[in-house]
Amino acid sequence: MTRDIAVVAFAQTDVLRTTDELSEVEMLMPVLHSVLDRTGLKTADIGFTCSGSSDYLAGRAFSFTLALDGVGAWPPISESHVEMDGAWALYEAWTKLLTGDADTALVYSYGKSSPGSLRDVLTRQLDPYYVAPLWPDSVALAALQAQALIDAGDTDESALAAIGVRSRRVATLNSRAQLRGSLPQGDYVVRPLRTGDCPPVGDGAAAVILAAGARARELCSRPAWIRGIDHRIEAHALGVRDLTDSPSTRLAAERAGAFERPVDTAELHAPFSSQEVVLRKALRLDDSVRVNLSGGALAANPMMAAGLVRVGEAAARIHRGESDRALAHATSGPCLQQNLVAVLEGEPR
């Protein structure tokens, strides 16, 4: 059975440097209510719920189970969780809807980076035998990739700076973004990356609702149909990979059908300016494509939600009639290790 599945609603929080006064579920709940309100659905109407988050951000085991209080998990619901960005939870929900077991799905994800030191926390996702004992932080690894790009002649420091500037300038139109407007490029964090090349560290949450076929049309006047979605992973060891390229992104895009026809809009999850260079190349995006009108991850990068936000932002543009065919990309792991690409389309108006 093939079914058409669409993103029918999207909501996100403001992304903030700290949210001490809120527990994770307290941060998440307004987003859940907002996305449900947009469709008129109640928790009990949802066929499948899938979430993405990471215990390492909170420093507590099974912290995601507490967030389930926010979805009304009693009486029991059909539910799943991925220890990843919510874009991968969306992928699981999409496959669930494809099977016909459910007609609607609620996908949410959240991350509070503020309790810990994110650069240190992220070292724990690295190879525990050869890499993690050296504690290379997330900026250091991205900086190795940036230098490789500079050495290859793919970019230079001023071109990277321009990416950061453009992202934060367009983010002035995105009230949810954490960094907006004119900001100094700043000092080196790990050379060649400066503050302006790096994402802000922040807390935030996002949610989308997926629906299949006729149900999607009932819930949304212009559903963002998922025409294709795929995710791929690179070799584990950084030294095995060509850091100037992202073959996993290219393959995911190919399998998602991204190259069959041009897209007009792309939301790329590029936490570092240098990674936008890699992704534009892998996805063959030229200047005719509007890239990261939201400001992208350089303006707001809530861990575990930023990838789902990319899908949501792309879908919302289709909902509003501002895009007809959009590409959304999400990443996870160091130096674009894992990549997901979705192609979304609105019906002709």
Residues that bind other proteins (CB under 8 A): 20-26, 29, 32-33, 43, 56, 58-59, 66, 68-75, 114-117, 119-121, 123-124, 128-137, 140-141, 143-148, 151, 188, 190-193, 235-240, 243
Q: How far is the CB of 239 from other proteins (least distance, A)?
A: 3
Helix (H, G, I), strand (E, B) or coil at 249: helix
Q: Are the beta carbons of 138 and 122 closer than 8 angstroms?
A: yes
Q: How far is the CB of 72 from other proteins (least distance, A)?
A: 3
b or e along 153-177 (b: 16 or more beta carbons within 10 Å of the residue's beta carbon)? ebbebeebbebbbbbbebbeebebb
Of 144 and 336, nearer to other proteins (C-beta) is: 144
Of 139 and 263, nearer to other proteins (C-beta) is: 139
Q: How far is the CB of 57 from other proteins (least distance, A)?
A: 9
Element (DSSP H or E) covering residue 26: helix 24-39
Please give the DSSP secondary-structure letter assigned to residue 238: G
Of 149 and 315, nearer to other proteins (C-beta) is: 149
Of 32 and 209, nearer to other proteins (C-beta) is: 32
Of 239 and 348, nearer to other proteins (C-beta) is: 239
Distance CA 264, CA 326 (A): 6
In the beta sheet, which residues pair with residue 5?
212
Q: How far is the CB of 59 from other proteins (least distance, A)?
A: 4
Q: How far is the CB of 311 from other proteins (least distance, A)?
A: 23
Question: Which amino acid, one-letter code, is at 205?
Answer: A
Task: Show the CA angle centred on residue 67, arms to residues 43 and 16, nearest 5°.
Answer: 110
Of 190 and 315, nearer to other proteins (C-beta) is: 190
Distance CA 282, CA 259 (A): 11
